[in-house]
Structure 1
Amino acid sequence: MKKRFSRLLATAGLALLLAVTPAASQLGSPDCVYAEVNWPSDCTIRADAGIVMDAATGTVLYGKNIHSVYAPASITKVLTALIVLERCSPDDTVTFSYEAVHNVEDNSSSAGYDTGDRATVETLLYALLLKSANESANALAEYAGGSIPEFVGLMNEKAKELGCEDSHFANPSGLNDPNHYVSAYDMALITRAALENSEFRKIVSTPYYELPPNSRFPDGQGISPGNKMVKSNWKEQFRPDCIGGKTGYTSLALNTLVNGAERDGFRVVTVVLHSDDTQYQDTSAMMDFAFRNFRQVRIADYGGKLAELGKDLSIAGLSVERAALPSLDRESRMVLPKGVLPEEVTTEIRYDLPDDAPADAAAVVNCMLDGKTVGKGYLKLEVPEERTADQAVDRQVASILKSESRSGTDAAEINVLGSGPAEKETGAAAAVSAGAKEVSQAAESLNDGILQDIRDAWDGMPMRFRVIMSVVTLLIAGILGYHAYSQRRKKRERAAAEGRRQRREERLKEDGLSASDIQLMTAKRLKKTEKRILRSDDPDLPEKE
């Protein structure tokens, strides 16, 4: 009962929190004044659009025309691969249809598969992402979605789920189509999600792979990615911190490129669209900019205010620490320009949770820097096992009894050395009695302190908050009171029924009936009652058997 009440109290506190605490709070001391933050901007690219995004938080570190739309070409296959990885097993076998093989542009990228060829999903993902094979994209789409049009529907659904608002997809490979377009921001969201999949990361970071035999390559073939940033033989483009990604090119899209890179746990995503052969220089420029100017930190590890945010939450000034504690997720992160202190970040608590919020999240904490979101964390409700005053007293009682009984017994044995057993017992009893007195005093002191804290908090509350808390308290008291009244009423009814039964048995015994006779009569009465109930439920039931 206490645990349910604690959870109820915490939920009520979270519901009232927007009314009793500021929507945004400064992490630093209120007496500190911080200089205006200048967001780093020493980055330029020559492509028409590009972006570098922090993978952990989704914060845009640099962008150019990030919401303008362009043809994506083969970087479309990142979304195709993500959906296939989520819906299919790597060991599943795919058979190539005529449409899958021939519904491609002439002279477009191919891994040599023909109608009727069979290959595993894993093999075709390597062909898709390293060789950029368009027939593999079609075959995987048919297998994962049932047909290419149905798979295209899945692509647009997934894009919307990831937060994409600018883009639309018309095919799984990136063929030119007026209804097939993306923005740099949306492609960053898609690539960010794909890089969270370990199988995707393994494939795009592979510098060389042997495809099994197929109709056009009976001896098999070796393939390597078009992305030069993961190939060490391309000295100018190769980067050891690059995880991998996907290239694209058509005459309409020009050069497109998406990649992920990571240093010391700080991962970024880059996108380049509509580039005139500057995609690698632009990507490296954005990666260098990110690692040079920013750092990623775990929210709970920096700034005492953030680390203790859950404990600071209160219900009209009364800490919820004694009930269910909201605690900040330890894995939540934020990204900050180097030289900026965590104390310069403000927090904004929201209760309208996003769709991807954890199931046990109670609120989302947005971290803001000069109006720019730099990270977010989730508050989760935890019900500690020992949070009530009674439990605190129990712990103190156990501690005092343990120490006092040990020291008291020793003293008694010394004082009555040579005396009889009865005297030893008297000395030990006196020691335990003294310990119990100290326990009682400690319990009273602890309860007095808690009551004083409540009085101080109540006196310091504005009147409107007192009204809110009074209503909540009366509601909870009414629920608990009605529950107690119902239990007492049921207990009285059971006692009255038992009294009537005993009096009836006494009268029957006075009439000369034995206990077995009384039991037989009771059984017959129950049987007649059951028959009456059955007849009332079923009017077609005969009156007699």
Structure 2
Amino acid sequence: MKKTGKLLAVFLTVFILTGTIAEAADTKEDAPVDMTATGIVLTDAEREGKTAEEIYALEAANEETATQNAYNMAISSNGLTGWPQGPATYGEAAIVMEAESGAILYAKNIDGKGYPASITKVLTALIALENGGLNDKITITQSCIDFLEYGDAHIGMTTGEEITLNDALHALLLASANEVAYAIGDNTGEGYEWFINQMNARAKELGALNSNFVNTNGLNDENHYTTARDMALITRELYTKHEEFKTISQTLQYTIPPTNLQPESRIFQQKHKMFYESNEYYYPYVTAGKTGYTEQAMNTLVTCADDGNMKLICVVLKTHGRNVYTDTKALLEYGFANFHKVNVKENEKSKDFKEIDSNSYVVLPESVTFADLKPEIITESSQAKTGIVNYSYEGNTLGSANVTFSQAYLKKNAPQVEVKETKKTTEKGISLPTWVKWLAIGVVVVFFLLFLWFCFALYVRKKRKEQRKKRQKRRRRRR
């Protein structure tokens, strides 16, 4: 009995340890880095007793160290087997996503929490376009202006002014006007609070699960944060579903005509430098984007590019120094140079699918084949005749396809129908009612327990007999 107990304990221990080891093996080594927890600017306590020159020197030293640390951060995608090695960047997070397939080509701390700054306005534009019309009236209220502080981007709107949503979106995406961002939320749908709730709900629907937004402009708040992956997913929806994003982004200069309260026009320019041919950061494939900067967020940037073959989305967060454009260009060139589309229908050999969307594709490097990918079927129910197949490589998403299932697949995955027991005689014998079977099982269990009790009783009886013999021997010796 004791040996059996010990063996059972050993078995359970091995089982538990095996599960723990397997769980640990599934955990990624490169855990997300929280970018909101570090800062370059000294706190008031750190500044106390120091001269301006000393403070400047300390902040410069902090920045130099942080810049180098950012450059040395691990690039997750470089750890994929046979994957093209992507460039190091001076940002603490970066992602390159193929817009139409959702394939992730480059990943560096893409789930790390960071402050978005004004790239928040990409989501603001998405909610506005999904819930409003370009000719809708946007009225500037006092609330749209009261929160502004010195240095915040704006275009000088005043209380009571009225513009169209089209004008407001140009001011939002080109000039990054913060009072206009507030006005868009205030005038769209059911008001500002409703708009913020929509921003968060819509983000979750798109798969942006690690973000939280508390305003429409991106001005710093510790409860207003996102990740590189989340911003890429949000940008993807705006970029692929709303042509207005590209149209506005490619407008290098825009004029808001005189309003009901302002007799003069307002003129402003696109702030994203990669659009200008005369600029050193010009990149010919750029088609849309949004800039961002606050002291806490540092440089953030969303850039969309199209080389005629692939459409890429690049998001960089918390970029140190003046590297936000050079990093973005390097990442986009890495994507265009190392990856290509592979049609799913032409390569999928599974007999589970009757039809496959002919326009669906995955994005692969030369060193990875379609056969290397892991498919995952997503359906609404086990009886659904259509579904989606997601393809991944070592846990990295590379595309998906809409499919219609074959009869063989539907039959194989059909829910099992419970067959009622009957008393009909078959070739194999008589099929008994369920209660009879349970009664038989109960009888067997009772007899088994009785057998164990009988064995135990025999064992006890034997022990007692042995003890009596020992006592009798001791008595004889005493005599």
Q: TM-score range by the shorter chain?
A: 0.5 to 0.7
Match of 1:159 in 2: 203
Matches within 5 A, 1:33-72: 37-72=81-116
1:281 — aligned with what? 326
Counterpart of 2:116, as a letter, is P
Q: Distance in 1 between matches of 2:188 and 2:239?
A: 20
Give per-residue Cα distances to partners, 1:89-143, cap 9 Å, x unaligned.
1011111111113232233111221111111100100010001111111111011
Alignment of 1:334-483 (within 5 A): 334-352=362-380, 362-380=386-404
Amino acid at match of 2:227: S
Mapped contact 2:301–2:315 kept (Cα < 8 A): yes
- Cα displacement (A) at 1:149: 2.1
Determine the structure 1 residue equivalent to 2:354: 326
**CA 1:215–1:471 in 2, change beyond 3 Å: closer, same or farther?**
closer
Q: Does residue 249 in structure 1 map to residue 273 in structure 2?
A: no
CA distance in 2: counterparts of 1:75 and 1:123, whole angstroms: 18
Deviates more, 1:105-114 or 1:225-234: 105-114
2:276 to 199, 208, 231: 231
1:109 matched to which residue of 2? 153
Residue equivalent to 2:191: 147
Post-superposition shift, 1:297?
A: 2.7
Q: Percent of pairs identical after alignment?
A: 37
Q: Sort the Cα spacing of 1:469 and 1:366 in 2 relative to 1 into closer, same or farther, 3 A.
A: closer
Q: Distance in 2 between matches of 1:281 and 1:258?
A: 13
Do the aligned partners of 1:112 and 1:217 also contact (CA within 8 Å) in 2? Answer: no
* 1:233-262 Cα deviation digits (max 9, x unpaired): 21x211110112100111111111011111
Q: 1:207 aligns with which of 252, 256, 272?
A: 252
Alignment RMSD: 2.8
After superposition, give the CA deviation of every residue in 1:162-210 in whole Å (9 maximum; x if it has no partner): 1112111110001111111111111111111111111112111222212
Residues 113, 216 of structure 1: 8 Å contact kept: no
Task: Determine helix, strand or coil for the equivalent of 2:176.
Answer: coil
Change (3 A) 1:379 1:213: same
Whether contact under 8 Å (2:86, 2:106) holds in the other structure is: no
Alpha-carbon distance between aligned partners in 1 of 2:406 and 2:265, rounded to the nearest angstrom: 56
Counterpart of 2:170 in 1: which secondary structure? helix
Amino acid at match of 1:155: M
Q: Which runs of 5+ in 1 are unaligned?
A: 1-35, 314-324, 354-359, 384-456, 458-464, 475-545
User: CA 1:338 to 1:229, structure 2 compared with 1: closer, same or farther past 3 Å?
Assistant: same
TM-score by length of 1: 0.57
Q: In structure 2, what is the equivalent of residue 218 of structure 1?
A: 263
Give distance in 1, aligned partners of 2:187 and 2:418: 56
Distance 2:416 2:150 in 1: 76
Higher helix share: 1
Counterpart selection for 1:97 from 135, 141, 151: 141
Aligned CA distance change for structure 1 residues 361 and 373 (closer, same or farther; 3 Å) = farther
CA distance in 2, matches of 1:131, 1:200: 14
- Distance change >3 Å, CA 249–CA 37, structure 1 → 2: closer
CA apart distance, 1:265: 3.1
In structure 2, distance between residues paired with 1:159 and 1:77: 13
Tell me the matched-pair count. Answer: 334
Given the superposition, is the C-alpha separation of residues 215 and 272 from structure 1 closer, same or farther in structure 2, using an over 3 Å criterion? farther
Counterpart amino acid of residue 307 in structure 2: R
Aligned counterpart, 1:185: 229
Kindly tell me: are residues 361 and 57 of structure 1, through their superposed partners in 2, closer, same or farther at Cα, counting changes over 3 Å?
A: farther
How far apart, CA to CA, are the structure 2 residues paired with 1:119 and 1:361? 49
Aligned-partner Cα distance in 2 for 1:216–1:257: 34
CA contact (8 A) 1:191 1:259 kept: no
Change over 3 Å in CA distance of 1:92–1:377 after alignment to 2: same
**Higher alpha-carbon Rg:** 1
Which residue number in structure 2 is paired with residue 530 of structure 1?
none
CA offset at residue 342 of structure 1?
2.9
Rounded Cα–Cα distance in structure 2 between residues aligned with 1:39 and 1:295: 13
Deviations 1:297-343 (A, max 9, x none): 3312x32xx1x64xx23xxxxxxxxxxx8311122120100243334
Do 1:229 and 1:244's aligned partners in 2 also have CA atoms closer than 8 Å? no
Secondary structure of the corresponding residue to residue 290 of structure 2: strand
Mapped partners of 1:361, 1:143: distance in 2? 43
* Counterpart Cα distance in 2 of 1:68 and 1:246: 20
Instruction: In structure 1, give the amino acid aligned to 2:333.
Output: D
> Secondary structure of the residue that 2:252 maps to in structure 1?
coil
Return the alpha-carbon distance in structure 2 between the equivalents of residues 68 and 470 of structure 1. Answer: 44
For the residue of structure 2 that corresponds to 1:379, the secondary structure is strand
Taking structure 2 as the reference length, the TM-score comes to: 0.65
CA distance in 1, matches of 2:344, 2:294: 43
Q: Distance in 2 between the 1:361 and 1:243 partners?
A: 38
- The alignment partner of 1:69 has SS state of coil
Structure 1 residue 370 displacement after superposition: 4.2
Q: Partners of 2:89 and 2:360 in 1: how far apart?
A: 31
CA gap 1:71/1:296 in 2 versus in 1, 3 angstroms: same
* In 2, Cα distance between equivalents of 1:350 and 1:215: 53
**Contact map agreement 2:210 2:227 (CA 8 A) in 1:** yes
Matched, 1:295 2:319: no
Match of 1:44, SS state, is coil
Answer yes or no: is the 8 Å Cα contact 2:160–2:261 preserved in 1.
no
Of 266, 291, 309, 1:265 maps to 309
1:478 corresponds to: none
TM-superposed CA distance for 1:66, in Å, is: 1.2
**Partner amino acid, structure 2, of 1:326:** K
SS in 2 for 1:50: strand
The residue type paired with residue 392 of structure 2 is M
> Which segments of 5 or more consecutive residues in structure 2 lack a partner in the other structure?
1-79, 421-479
CA distance in structure 2 between the partners assigned to 1:259 and 1:240 by the alignment: 12
Partners of 1:65 and 1:339 lie apart in 2 by 24
Q: Which residue of 2 aligns with 1:198?
A: 243
Cα distance in structure 1, aligned partners of 2:172 and 2:252: 14
Cα distance between partner residues in 1 of 2:285 and 2:387: 35
Distance in 1, matches of 2:250 and 2:343, equals: 27
2:91 is paired with a residue of what secondary structure?
A: coil
SS, match of residue 165 in structure 1: coil
